Amino acid sequence: MRRFPTVSARDLEGTDRLLPDDLGGERNVALIAFRRHHQAAVDSWVPWLEERAADDPDLRFYELPTIGTRWSPVRPMIDGGMATAIRTPAVLARTWTIYTDVRRITTPLGITDTDDIAVVLLGRDGLVRWQSTGAFEPRRASRLGDAIDAMRQSAPDDGSSDHARTGRQFDFAFAPAARPLLAAAGIVPSTAHVTVTDDEVVARFGPWCCRTPRTNVRDATTTGPYRAHRAIGVRLSLADGGLTFGSTTAGGVCIRFHEPVGGLVPRVDHLHPGLTVTVA
Calculate the average pLDDT of the chain.
Answer: 89
pLDDT of residue 104: 92
pLDDT of residue 21: 85
Angle of CA points 43, 96, 82, to nearest 5°: 65
Average pLDDT over residues 128-151: 97
Rounded Cα distance between 192 and 250, Å, is: 17
Tell whether omega for the bond before 20 is within 30 degrees of 0, i.e. cis: yes
pLDDT grade, residue 229 (50/70/90)? confident
Nearest to 3 by CA among 121, 146, 156, 149: 121
pLDDT of residue 226: 93
Pairing of the two strands 243-246 and 272-277: parallel
- Provide the residue ranges of all domains of the chain, joining segments of one domain with +: 7-153, 167-277
Q: Sheet holding 192-196: strands in order across?
A: 168-171, 192-196, 200-205, 208-213
Average pLDDT over residues 186-196: 84
Determine contact, residues 82/95, Cβ cutoff 8 Å: yes
Contacts of 227 (CB under 8 A, 6+ apart): 249
Cα of first residue to Cα of last residue in the chain, in angstroms, is 24
pLDDT grade, residue 268 (50/70/90)? very low
Per-residue pLDDT at 193 exceeds 80? yes
Average pLDDT over residues 168-191: 87
pLDDT of residue 264: 66
Fold exhibited by the domain 7-153? Glutaredoxin (3.40.30)
Average pLDDT over residues 36-41: 96
Rounded Cα distance between 262 and 210, Å, is: 6
